[in-house]
Structure 1
Amino acid sequence: MSQSGPSTFLLVDDRTVSSLEIAETWISRTRGLLFRTTLPDALLLRPCSSVHGAWMRVPLDVALLDAGYRVLAVHRLRPWGMTRPRHGVAAVLEAPASSFERWGLAVGSRVAVG
């Protein structure tokens, strides 16, 4: 996967679906989407095996990805909710609620950065 930058896009099953922000440092992963007034179209946290919705005001779509960026599980994360760490999860994709349905992202989908 390529590094985050101004022309970074999320692909789902080889289709470009949105812009993408990547959180790869400890600080950027810890902050995630907390305290933002505007959410990005999508945020990829890597490495990461679980996320929480503490202090979030809106629900999020969350996908747990393996090392090859295949979707292992999909969740609707409610404010103050959390996903549990799961064996084989290498990264987590977050997006505003209902994004995954619009993009056709489901268990088994392959995610990539373009």
Structure 2
Amino acid sequence: MKKLINARTGEVILEDLQTADTFYARFRGLMGRPSMPENAGLMIKPCNSVHCFFMKFPIDLLFLDEENRIIRIMTGMAPGSFSPIVKGAKSVIEMNSQILTGSVRIGDIVKTS
């Protein structure tokens, strides 16, 4: 189990970060899950856009560049919607909606431990 940490503040953003870095894991993502544990997330890489088709709950997103710098934040993405393609994004972290209430900002670097 990896934690997601804001390198600027030292704050733990997520207690349990899983990684989807194979074709099947990226394709599956969070589709079909009834919910996600409160302080968990999924890092999809490589990735520069996501969809929420066949999802049952809203999510927040962090789009990261190759240095794990946050280049875009999206909150409250509803089931059945899709994100824009984010230029420069190399990975995306999906988490339950309402997790990112002021804990990060564009330009922050995140790390795992």
Two-structure CA RMSD over aligned residues (Å): 1.4
Query: Identity, % of aligned pairs?
Result: 26
Match of residue 11 from structure 1: 5
What's the offset of the Cα at 1:98?
A: 0.7
1:45 equivalent in structure 2: 44
Asked if the contact 1:46/1:91 (under 8 Å) is kept, the reply is: yes
Alpha-carbon distance between aligned partners in 1 of 2:62 and 2:89, rounded to the nearest angstrom? 10
- Per residue, is there more helix in 1 or in 2? 1
Distance 1:73 1:89 in 2: 8
Alignment-derived partner of residue 3 in structure 1: none
Alpha-carbon deviations, 1:42-65, whole Å to 9, x = none?
Answer: 110011110001111211001111
The farther-off stretch of 53-62 and 8-17 is 8-17
When normalised by structure 2's length, the TM-score is 0.86
Q: String of CA shifts for 1:49-96, please: whole Å, max 9, x gaps.
A: 100011112110011110101111111211111112122110001100
Q: In the alignment, is residue 85 of structure 1 matched against residue 79 of structure 2?
A: no
CA distance in 1, matches of 2:6, 2:18: 15
2:24 alignment partner in structure 1: 27
Higher strand fraction: Structure 1 or Structure 2?
Answer: 2
**Any runs of at least 4 consecutive aligned residues in structure 1 with deviations exceeding 3 A, and if so which?**
none
Q: Distance in 1 between matches of 2:55 and 2:92?
A: 17
Deviations 1:13-70 (A, max 9, x none): 2333321111110100111111113314111001111000111121100111101011
For residues 106 and 52 of structure 1, the distance between their equivalents in structure 2, rounded to whole angstroms, comes to 22
Q: Hey, what's the Cα distance between the residues in 1 that align with 2:27 and 2:6?
A: 25
Q: Which amino acid aligns with 2:92?
A: V
